[in-house]
Structure 1
Amino acid sequence: MSDLKADFVIVGGGSAGCVLANRLSAGGQFSVILVEAGRASRPLMSKVPLGVGRAWSDPRHNWNDHSAPEPGLDGRHLTLTRGRLLGGSGAINAMNFVRGAAADFDAWHSLGLPGWSAEEMARHFRATERTAAGLSSPTRGDSGPIDVTETPVRDGLIEAWMKALQGQGVKRLDDYNADLTAGVGRAQFNIARGRRRDPRVAYLDPACRRKNLRVLGEHHALRITVRDGRAADVLARYRGVLRRIAARREVIVAAGSYGSPHLLQLSGIGPGATLQAAGIPPVMVNDRIGCNLWDHPRVAIEYARCPSYMHRLLRWDRLLIRFAQALVLRSGPATWPLAAAHLFMVSSPARNSPDMQVLLRLFDPTLQPWLLKAPDGDRWGMVVCLVQPESRGHVRTLSDDPAQAPEVVTGILSEESDMARMVATCEALRQAMRVPEMTRWASEELSPGPSVSTKADWRDFMRKTSGTIFHPGGTCAMGEVVDHRLRLRGVAGLRVVDASVMPLPVTGNIHAAVLAVAEKAAGMIRQDAR
C-alpha cells in the first residue's frame, strides 16, 4: 500500500471537483490531491459539441448505471447517465447553461441556510461566467472561466415556435439567465470558438501546471477513514493497488448525487438500517444521507418535419467533413449545440416562479449516420421537464463492496401532483401548437399522437415513456446532512460539495448551479483554513 498526503483531498473529479481543485490550489498556499475513478484521458469527439452523442453511448466514458424499479413509472428501470472520466458528467453533458430562478436560492435561504439567497449567490454565478457580448449585462459575469454563448442555429422552426408562443401571451426573454421568469428565449451553452467549454477545460487543465496540485485518475475511492471523530484519509484502489491518501486539513467529497452518499455509507456514515443491512460498521448515523433525491422528469411531444440540417449532415461523407471542419477550423454545424430554445412556464396561476421547462429540439435524436439510404423520416420535439418536483427518491448502498453500485430510486412522478402538472403542461403545449404560425411545422403529431386524448391516456403515456433528464440532487442536503458551510454534521474535517447538497430543486439544468456552489464552497474552505 502506497501513501500520499495533502492539505485537501477531493474525491470526485467532476464539475465541482474541478472548480475546487483550481480554487484551493491557487496561490500555492495549500497542497491538493484530486481523486477520480474515471479515466484521465478525454475522447477527441467530446471536445466538439456534436460529439456529445458519441460520448454518451461509450461505456468507457459513461458509468451507464440503472435505477431500481421506479414506482411512478410502472416499475421500469431508468438509465442513469454519469460521466466516467475526469470532468465527470460536465464533460459529456449537453452544455445547456441555465442559472435557475432567484426563488430557488431564496427558498434555500428560507430553510435557515445563511449565505445562500439569490442576492448572495449572484456573485458566485458571475465568477463562473464569461458571457458573449450579446448577453452582457450587470447581472452576468464577463471574466470567469466558463464561456457562455447563445445558439448560432438559425433554423426557421425556432422563430416560428417562439412567435407562436409570444402570440399567446408568452414573454420573450432576451437573456433568461439575467433574471429567469416565465418566458421563452434562445438557448445558452458553455461553448466557445467551436469547443465545449467545460470545467475540466476551464478550471482543471490550467491548474494542472501547479506543483501543489496532483490529479489521480482511475483511482476508485473505497472509503473514508474516520479517527477520533475526524476524517483522516481516503482509501482508494488504482489498478489493483491500494493507496491511502491522507488529508491534513479536510476530505472534500464531490462525487455527485449518487456517488457522494454512496461513499459516505461505505465509510459507515449513513442511515443505521442501511449500514446494518449492508454489513458496514457504523461510524456516524444520519438517516437522511442518501434520502431526499430529487430529479427532473422529462417526456417528449414530437412532430413530423421535413429533413433537418442534422438529417442531411449525418450522411457519412458529410459528417466526416463537418467533424474535420469542427476540429481544425472550429466552425460548422458539428460545433452547434443540440437544443435551440428554452421555454419556462408556470403550471398554474398560483405559482410566482416557473416550475416547468420545455426544450426545443430541432431533429430526431435517434438518427444514425447513413451512406446510401437516408433515414425515412425526421421529427422535431418539445422536451417537457418538471423542474420543481415534489417526488423524492433515495440512494442506498446494498453491500460493503465498493464495486457494487448502490440502489438508486429516482422516485420521479411518484407523487400525483407531479403527474398532474406534467399532464396539464403537455395538454397546454399541444393546444398552443394549433395556431396558424405552426401549421407548417405541427400538422402531424407523431408522439404521443392522436390516440392520447384524455388525462388517463396522458398518465399512461407518462408512465410508459417518461425518464430523467439527468439532473439529480439533494441526497446530502444542507440542513439535514451538511450545515450551511457544507461541513458534514457529526464528523470533523469532512465536507460535501456537489449537487447532492442542494436541499431543493433548481429551475432548469443544474450544471451552472453546481459551478456556483463549488465557487462559494472554495471561498468558505479557504476562510476556514486560515
Structure 2
Amino acid sequence: MLYKRTLPEIDNQQLQQHRYDYVIVGAGSAGSVIANRLSEDPNTRVCLIEAGAADNSPRIQIPAGTITLYKSKKYSWNFFSTPQKRLNNRQIHAPRGKMVGGSSSMNSMIYIRGNASDYDNWEAKGCAGWGWKEVLPFFKRSEKNVIQQDLAFHGVEGELFVDHPKDPNPLSKLFIQAAALLNLKENQDFNAASSEGVGIYDVTQRDGQRLSSFKAFVQPILTRSNLTVVTECEVERIHHSEGQVHSIHVQRQGQNFDIRINKELILSAGAFVSPLLLMKSGIGPKSELEQAGIECKVDLPGVGKNLQEHIDGLVTVRTNSSKTLGFSVGALASILPAPFQYALKRKGWLTTNYVEAGGFAKTPLATDLPDVQFHFVPGYRSHRGRLFEWGHGYAIHTCVLRPKSIGEIRVNAQKQIEIDYNFLEKEHDMHVLIEGIKLAQRILKQDVFKAFNGQEILPGPDVKTDADYQAYVREYAATVFHPVGTCKMGIDAMSVVDPKLKVVGFNNLRIADASIMPDLVSGNTNAPCIMIGERAADFILQQQ
C-alpha cells in the first residue's frame, strides 16, 4: 500500500499564540532527526517549519518518480547558479527539495557516508569531536540496516531503513562485471572499512518505497502533542539582539507574522537557504550586506563562503536494446505492466532510482584514496539535458570527490540568492574529471557491453585530445547536487559555527545541515546530513 498521510492542520493564529522551546527551520535530512530527538521529552515544545508542501505524492514515494521532481515547480526550489565563466558561462541547475523531507524526498536514495578520513580531516581542522570514531556511533544510531552488513559499521535499531534495491536492471550488474575487467573489484558495502570498488548501491527505502528523513523520523511521531509541524511556511528573517534570537518572521497563507522562541532556533534549511536566512537577517560579511542594502547587525565574514560541490561529467551511450530503461515501442512490454508489478511485488521498472550501481575509483592522479565516484545509469542520459529522451541507452556519471575549487553564495539587492560555484578555478579539478571520464569510457567499452552494440554520444568519437576533453567538460559538466560548506564549522576567522554547531556570537542559534561541513565528504551527502542532525540534537540535549 502506498504511503498516504495528511499532516495535521495548523492555523496561523495558533502559531502566533504559542511560544516554542525549539524552532527548527527545514524538515529535511537533519531537521527531521532533530525534531524527533528533541520532542521525545513531552515537556519540550518543538516546532518544525517547512517552506514546501507535504510529501503524499506517488512521484515522491515511488523510486522511479525521482526523475520527475528535479524540475518540479511544486517540489523543487530550482535554483540556478550565476554564469560559470570556466563552463562557457552556463548557469548550472541546482534543484533542492521543497517539501517535507527536503532533498531526501527527491534524491536517488543512495546511502553513502563518505570516507573515514573525511571526518578525521574535519577534526584536524579544529572541529573537536567530529573525527570518524566520534561520528560513527551517530551514523549507527539512525540506521536500521536490514541486509545483515557488518555491525561494527552499521546499526539495526534506528529509524532509517537501509536496504538493497528491490529489482536492479541487469545492466547495472554488467557495469560491475565490466569494471572488474579493469581491476575495479566489487564492493558489497561502501560504508565499511573501504569505499573503493564498484557495486550496487544501498538505498534508504522501506518495502520498495522511498524513506525520506521526514518519513523515517517524523511521520511515526506525528501524534506527539508537543510537536508542531508546519508546511508551506517560508521564513523571511530572524529577529535577534545581543547574541540572542527572540523570534522568526514568516510568511504563510498570505499572512506575515512572528513565531516566538523560548530556547533555541536551529537552521536546517540547507547549504543555500541557511546562509541566505542569516544574511537577510543582517548576519554575514558586512561590506556585502551593505552593498545589498541590508543593515549588518553581526559582521560574520564566513557566511556564504566555502561553497563546495561535486563537479560531474557524463559518458552516455545509445543502443537499440529495450533491456535498458527507456521509452520505445519495444519497451512497452516492460512499461505497461510496471504499475502492477510494483504494486504487487515491488518489482519492475518503477523500482529504479536510475543510479542503481556505481562506486569509487582511483585515477592516475590519485594518491592513497579514490578520487572519483561513478553513478551508473541503465538508461539513456540525454545529451541535450532533457529529463526524458525517446529510445534507449546507458551512461556513467563521474564526479570529482575532493574538488579544490571553492565558490560562494551572496544575497543581492532584491534579497535573492546568487550561487557561484567557481567551478574549475583550480586546474586540479579539470584534470581529475578528465581522467575519470576516460576511465568511465573504458568501462563501457568492455566486451560485456558489446552485445548492446552501443554508440557513444558523449563525449563521442571526435573527443580525442586533452584539449578536446577540456572543451567537452566546459560545455557539458554539471553537478550531482551535493552543495556544502557555506556556514562552515571550525575555529578560524571564517568559521560560522563552532564545533557544537552554535553560530559564532550567538547563545541560542545553531545550524545543522550540509552548510556546516568544513570540507565536502567523498560521497553522497544525505547520510552525513542525518548524522549532523543526530549530533546537533545530542549537543542540545547535553546542555539541558
Aligned partner letter, 1:341: A
Flag the 1:434–1:363 CA change in 2: closer, same or farther, 3 A. closer
Q: Is the 8 A contact 1:4 1:243 kept in 2?
A: no
Flag the 1:325–1:169 CA change in 2: closer, same or farther, 3 A. closer
Q: 1:355 matched to which residue of 2?
A: 371
Q: Distance in 1 between matches of 2:29 and 2:273?
A: 13
Q: 1:384 matched to which residue of 2?
A: 398
Q: 1:246 matched to which residue of 2?
A: 260
Q: Distance in 1 between matches of 2:442 and 2:151?
A: 35
Q: 1:497 matched to which residue of 2?
A: 512
Following TM superposition, by how much is the alpha carbon of 1:386 offset from its aligned partner in structure 2, in angstroms?
0.8
Which stretch of structure 1 is more off in the superposition, 144-153 or 282-291? 144-153
Flag the 1:309–1:514 CA change in 2: closer, same or farther, 3 A. same
Q: Distance in 2 between matches of 1:165 and 1:80?
A: 30
* Aligned ranges 1:331-480 → 2 under 5 Å: 331-348=347-364, 351-366=367-382, 377-399=391-413, 404-441=415-452, 444-479=455-490, 480=495
Following TM superposition, by how much is the alpha carbon of 1:133 offset from its aligned partner in structure 2, in angstroms?
2.5
Aligned partner letter, 2:425: S
Aligned partner letter, 1:520: R
Q: 1:31 matched to which residue of 2?
A: 45
Counterpart secondary structure, 1:504:
coil
Q: Distance in 1 between matches of 2:482 and 2:68?
A: 20
Q: 1:233 matched to which residue of 2?
A: 247
Following TM superposition, by how much is the alpha carbon of 1:77 offset from its aligned partner in structure 2, in angstroms?
0.5
Specify every segment of 5 or more residues in structure 2 that has no aligned partner in the other structure, as ranges. 1-12
Specify every segment of 5 or more residues in structure 1 that has no aligned partner in the other structure, as ranges. 368-373
Aligned partner letter, 2:503: L
Counterpart secondary structure, 1:233:
strand
Q: 1:172 matched to which residue of 2?
A: 186
- 500, 512, 529: which one aligns with 1:514: 529
Q: 2:232 matched to which residue of 1?
A: 218
Flag the 1:441–1:132 CA change in 2: closer, same or farther, 3 A. farther
Counterpart secondary structure, 1:290:
coil
Which stretch of structure 1 is more off in the superposition, 316-325 or 126-135? 316-325
| Percent identity over paired residues | 30
* Aligned ranges 1:42-61 → 2 under 5 Å: 42-61=56-75
Flag the 1:349–1:280 CA change in 2: closer, same or farther, 3 A. closer
Q: Count residues with an aligned counterpart.
A: 520
Q: Is the 8 A contact 2:327 2:389 kept in 1?
A: no
Counterpart secondary structure, 1:178:
coil
Q: Distance in 1 between matches of 2:453 and 2:369?
A: 28
Counterpart secondary structure, 2:195:
coil
Q: 2:159 matched to which residue of 1?
A: 145
Counterpart secondary structure, 1:140:
coil
Q: 1:371 matched to which residue of 2?
A: none
Q: Is the 8 A contact 1:13 1:35 kept in 2?
A: yes
Q: Distance in 2 between matches of 1:349 and 1:391?
A: 16
Flag the 1:379–1:41 CA change in 2: closer, same or farther, 3 A. closer
Q: Is the 8 A contact 1:303 1:442 kept in 2?
A: no
Q: Is the 8 A contact 1:74 1:463 kept in 2?
A: yes
Q: 2:5 matched to which residue of 1?
A: none
The normalised TM-score by structure 1 is 0.93
Q: Distance in 2 between matches of 1:443 and 1:43?
A: 36
1:273 aligns with 2:284: no
Q: 1:370 matched to which residue of 2?
A: none
Q: Distance in 1 between matches of 2:244 and 2:87?
A: 41
Q: Is the 8 A contact 1:235 1:245 kept in 2?
A: yes
Q: Distance in 1 between matches of 2:206 and 2:85?
A: 41
Flag the 1:487–1:308 CA change in 2: closer, same or farther, 3 A. same
1:481 aligns with 2:492: no
Q: Is the 8 A contact 1:42 1:85 kept in 2?
A: no
Following TM superposition, by how much is the alpha carbon of 1:422 offset from its aligned partner in structure 2, in angstroms?
0.5
Q: Distance in 1 between matches of 2:324 and 2:470?
A: 33
Q: Distance in 2 between matches of 1:375 and 1:266?
A: 41
Flag the 1:197–1:288 CA change in 2: closer, same or farther, 3 A. same
Q: 2:101 matched to which residue of 1?
A: 87
Q: Distance in 1 between matches of 2:310 and 2:269?
A: 19
Counterpart secondary structure, 1:33:
strand
Cα displacement string for residues 103-141 of structure 1 (whole angstroms, at most 9, x for unaligned residues): 111110111111111111111111121112343532111
Q: Distance in 2 between matches of 1:497 and 1:313?
A: 45
The normalised TM-score by structure 2 is 0.91
- 323, 332, 356: which one aligns with 2:339: 323
Q: Distance in 1 between matches of 2:316 and 2:347?
A: 29
Flag the 1:494–1:13 CA change in 2: closer, same or farther, 3 A. same
* Aligned ranges 1:96-107 → 2 under 5 Å: 96-107=110-121
Aligned partner letter, 1:494: L
Q: Is the 8 A contact 2:172 2:377 kept in 1?
A: no
Flag the 1:93–1:175 CA change in 2: closer, same or farther, 3 A. same
Cα displacement string for residues 272-306 of structure 1 (whole angstroms, at most 9, x for unaligned residues): 11110111111111111000000011111112331
Q: Distance in 2 between matches of 1:357 and 1:317?
A: 33
1:159 aligns with 2:173: yes
Q: Is the 8 A contact 2:326 2:390 kept in 1?
A: no
Flag the 1:155–1:327 CA change in 2: closer, same or farther, 3 A. closer
Q: 1:290 matched to which residue of 2?
A: 304
Which stretch of structure 1 is more off in the superposition, 79-88 or 289-298? 79-88
CA RMSD of aligned residues (A): 2.2
Q: Distance in 1 between matches of 2:390 and 2:223?
A: 50
Q: Is the 8 A contact 1:498 1:518 kept in 2?
A: yes
